[in-house]
Amino acid sequence: MKLVFATNNLNKLKEVQALVPPQIEIVSLADIGCTEDIPETSPTIEGNAKQKIQYIKQNYGMDCFADDTGLVVDILNGAPGVYSARYAGKDKNAKANMNKLLNELTGKENRDAHFKTVIALELNGKQKVFTGICEGTITLKEKGQGGFGYDPVFQPKGYTKTFAELPLLEKNKIGHRGKAVQQLIKFLNS
């Protein structure tokens, strides 16, 4: 089976390819010649994931899946949420996003947060949605060199290391995207 993963984020592509069994071939947007930025204008994470698969189906006629992920911080009323990638501005600067988040949490005791990933699948004319959540806290400062996005400031519940300090295999087992991808794989294999 061949499926398009509707993302230009090479880090996400690498994470997902590490989880998918060999009988499912994941092709990227670059592989199908899609170089444009797919609109993400929905006010919800699920809506953005669906928007991406609809774009690929309409413009390329291919079965595909897409994800959207948000970091939800309790004391910030769910921010950055759907705006996680653009929290500090339109240029999607991960360092600026983390700095803004850490500044907004200065002096706050409650640093509870969770990552939420929604994967939308378009397959044989039908849509299906899978959701993965990983609970944790926001650290006081960045720790670790791995991962991407907010990984250096997100410490999953029950762990003493941030996502950026964990090996990819470990992160995929407990992480939001890994949980959603496992549901997707189970569905595709059923």
Q: How confident is the model at residue 8, as a pLDDT?
A: 84
Say how far residue 24 (Cα) sits from the centre of its chain: 20
Q: How confident is the model at residue 11, as a pLDDT?
A: 84
Query: What pTM value is reported for the model?
Result: 0.92
Q: How confident is the model at residue 5, as a pLDDT?
A: 96
Q: Where are the domains of the chain?
A: 2-189
CATH architecture of 2-189: Alpha-Beta Complex (3.90)
- Please, is 60 exposed, middle or buried when counting C-beta atoms within 10 Å of its C-beta (0-12, 13-18, 19+)? middle
Q: How confident is the model at residue 179, as a pLDDT?
A: 96
Q: How confident is the model at residue 34, as a pLDDT?
A: 95
* Active-site hit among 63, 67, 68, 151: 68
Measure the CA–CA gap between 163 and 134, rounded to whole angstroms. 11
Ranges of the chain with pLDDT below 70:
none
Q: Is 63 a catalytic residue?
A: no
Q: How confident is the model at residue 114, as a pLDDT?
A: 98
